[in-house]
Structure 1
């Protein structure tokens, strides 16, 4: 497969081919690309040919100083913004290693018609605070296509990146993410973004329930919750769900020598 970053480059394997009057349903063989990774509780070997990098909720309404979290809820987003360089570094390494980069952001319907009471009223304190779909500091809060649902300008994207909207803490609920990953023939998901104890953890756990391997990048995830919450999430991840690693270790794995694909 050519090493380009067009919108469909990673999906090109899952296509039919035609030769004259004959149609072949045989997909090209996928060559394994093993890469060692330092991780906890055990070291890993990734198959880069079946790995994707997930960037969760690095978007304006959560992280911009004028967004919903900071301007409306008074959240201190400055510590979370320090994650941007690490995430950009990992995305660049992933693209160079022909690993898909998938940005998963909140992006709800403008009418919030598919959000149940336990989502709307928990977020709005039973309607006493502005939440999903309400008019926020810079437009409707977290509405797909709006400013709040867009990734931060400082998060570097590329034409070959994939973008998926979600409307639950989990990125796997009632949207296209699972089907996209199946078409990519991905089995391992590497998680970055915010908030570790909310959308990152919910997406990771749900992904595990769907059968995907999980690796959390400790220093590329963040939360405004107290430090003991992060410790608990990482402990539970290592014990029950998967593995944790670091930006430096993952960058080394992405840059390990690999055979060229044909």
Structure 2
């Protein structure tokens, strides 16, 4: 029998006479962690972490947000906790997905309504426009363009070869992307969410994940926003009230430390 499928958990075995569709279930890998509104036990064998928009245009002092006058200090705070958490999750076989905003160079995936959000008067530097200047590493980079400096992971965070990259170009990473197909091929049912802005792209992606039936857990110290504090408070409230659970990287790491040998 020849294996046919992109991942071990979603694979047929085939030969000329037979197609074996039985998918062996993965061995459960429970992890207990403190969370709100209740403590949680998740199965690492069916878990992935989605890191959203931790990229230069949002988080670098040379990027687009900084150029238009936004203080990017808050959205750099997830870097350190992610540096500690991601290697431990990878070591347990948890897939890491980088969900970065990445427009097509011709902007044919962007509607006028989306362009208007970031360039409401038609003036200034909006999606796909080049950043001005000549001295910074961002000079001439087109805002949030796929495969460019603008869409690259911010310094301080490093993707490993086995990590998975998905480009998005909406506030939610599930719209018009391959994210859902990838997660289902990986056999994932539980999603850890991190990144920026927590009240916008992170929240909308988490909401859509909840609507699609995934278990959703926001890792609060691995998420941040440049919005006013009440936006963060409302996001945490709504995640706990309607869409899932909130935990911290320390709680997850403590769960990993307390595993039985």
CA distance in 2, matches of 1:207, 1:258: 31
Asked if 2 retains the 8 angstrom alpha-carbon contact of 1:55 and 1:191, the reply is yes
Over 3 Å counting, the alpha-carbon distance change for 1:22 and 1:147 in structure 2 is: same
Deviations 1:152-202 (A, max 9, x none): 131121111111000101010101100000001111111111001111011
Q: Does 1:96 align with 2:98?
A: no
Q: CA deviation at 1:12?
A: 2.8
Over 3 Å counting, the alpha-carbon distance change for 1:102 and 1:258 in structure 2 is: farther
Asked if 1 retains the 8 angstrom alpha-carbon contact of 2:77 and 2:224, the reply is no
Alignment of 1:69-108 (within 5 A): 69-71=65-67, 73-108=68-103
Residue aligning to 2:3: none
TM-score relative to the length of structure 2: 0.90
Asked if 1 retains the 8 angstrom alpha-carbon contact of 2:48 and 2:192, the reply is yes
Task: Give the number of equivalent residue pairs.
Answer: 249
- Mind listing any 5+ residue stretches in structure 1 that lack a counterpart? 1-9
CA distance in 1, matches of 2:16, 2:177: 37
CA distance in 1, matches of 2:180, 2:106: 24
Moved more, 73-82 or 192-201: 73-82
Residue aligning to 1:50: 46
Residue aligning to 2:130: 135
Q: CA deviation at 1:99?
A: 0.7
Q: CA deviation at 1:135?
A: 1.1
Residue aligning to 1:4: none
Alignment of 1:109-148 (within 5 A): 109-137=104-132, 138=138, 139-148=141-150
CA distance in 2, matches of 1:121, 1:51: 36
TM-score relative to the length of structure 1: 0.89
CA distance in 2, matches of 1:167, 1:141: 12
Q: Does 1:17 align with 2:13?
A: yes
- Mind listing any 5+ residue stretches in structure 2 that lack a counterpart? 1-5, 133-137
3-state SS of the aligned residue for 2:49? strand
